[in-house]
Amino acid sequence: MSTSPELPIHLVYYEDLKEKTLQEVCRLGKFLGIENKDGLFEAISEKCKFENMVKDKQPYLFPGEALEGFTFYRKGDVGDWKNWFTVAQNEHFDKIYNEIMETSKHKFRYQRIQNCDRSML
């Protein structure tokens, strides 16, 4: 935003949305200039809970044998990537990511923040 204020960008990180949903929805609403009338942000926050998104998505999946057991969502857990990457894959990813993102002002995190005061997030 500092280099192109006429093209504002609002970033939402999954980890933040997962850990402090209502706060992130309020932040997005403020960015968009939307008022929280009649509990709108609270309702959106409730709909954005992972378990509610999974439940709401189920009726729209295609029935049939080819998709038997298919789910659009995995677990929704912050840090679940550790269950999918091997150590070697993670090291390879980190190397490439660090090279590409070296000059980026955006810092991403890939796990829950442990032992912290959630109000500080």
Nearest to 83 by CA among 94, 75, 91: 75
Nearest to 111 by CA among 87, 86, 89, 80: 80
Structure token pair of residue 34: 């939307």
**Chain mean pLDDT for the chain:** 77
Contact criterion met (CB below 8 Å) for 80 and 50: no
C-alpha distances in Å from residue 42, one per residue of 25, 54, 66: 8, 18, 37
> May I ask the CATH class of domain 14-120?
alpha beta
* Residues 85-109 pLDDT 10s: 888 988 898 899 889 888 887 777 6
| Domain definitions of the chain by residue range | 14-120
- Which of 10-19, 26-35, 74-83, 94-103 has the largest mean confidence? 26-35
Binned at pLDDT 50, 70 and 90, residue 120 comes out as: very low
118, pLDDT greater than 70: no
